[in-house]
Amino acid sequence: MSTAVKAAIIGSTGYGGVELIRLLASHPKVEVTSVISSSSAGAPIAEGYPHLTEIRTDLLDDVDPALIKSKADVVFIATPAGIATKLTPSLLAAGLKVIDISGDHRLKSRAEYETWYKKEAAEQQYLDQAVYGLCEVYGDAVQGVDLVSNPGCFPTATLLGLIPAVKEGYIDPATIIIDSKSGVSGAGRGASLGTHYSELNENFKAYKINKHQHIPEIEQVLSDVAGQKVVTTFTTHLVPMTRGIMSTMYATVTGDHKVEDFISLYRNYYEGRPFVRIRSNGTWPATKEVFGSNYCDIGFAYDERTGRITIISVIDNLVKGAAGQAIQNLNLMMGWDETEGLKFVPVYP
Q: Is 189 in the site for its own copies (CB under 8 A)?
A: yes
What is the DSSP secondary-structure string of 158-176? HHHHHHHHHHTTSB-GGG-
Closest CA to 320 of 55, 52, 129, 133: 133
In contact, 78 and 12? CB cutoff 8 Å: yes
Q: Which is nearer to its own copies, 24 or 148 (CB)?
A: 24
Ramachandran sector of residue 255 (left: φ over 0; alpha: ψ -120 to 50; beta: rest) = left
The contact pattern for its own copies, residues 203-232, with x = CB under 8 A and - = no contact, is xxxxx-xx--------------------xx
3-state class of 134 per DSSP? coil
List the catalytic residue out of 153, 265, 290, 332: 153
Which amino acid belongs to residue 291? F
Cβ proximity to its own copies: between 113 and 234 the closer is: 234
Query: Which one, 121 or 246, has the nearer CB to its own copies?
Result: 246
Select 153 or 314, whichever has its Cβ closest to its own copies. Answer: 314
199 interacts with its own copies by CB under 8 A: yes
Q: What angle do CA 24, 61, 342 make, to 5 degrees?
A: 10
Instruction: Please report, as residue ranges, which positions from 251 to 280 form the binding site for its own copies (by CB under 8 A).
Output: 274, 277, 279
Strand partners, 238: 182, 205
Packed helices 153-167 and 259-269: angle between N→C axes, nearest 10 degrees: 110
Residue 144 Cβ vs its own copies, minimum distance, rounded to whole Å: 29
Position 191 contacts its own copies (CB under 8 A): yes
Strands 131-132 and 147-149: parallel
Using rule CB under 8 A, residue 111 touches its own copies: no
Active site residue 296: no
Site residues (CB under 8 A) for its own copies, limited to 20-79: 21-22, 25-26, 49-55
Asked whether the bond before 349 is cis by omega within 30 degrees of 0, the reply is yes
- Each residue 285-304 as x (binds its own copies by CB under 8 A) or -, in order, gives xxxxxxxxx---x---xxx-
Does 239 bind its own copies (CB under 8 A)? Our answer is yes
Q: Is residue 179 a contact point for its own copies (CB under 8 A)? A: yes
The nearest distance, CB 336 to its own copies, in angstroms, is 17
Give the number of residues in contact with its own copies, rule: CB under 8 A: 84
Which residues are catalytic, by number?
153
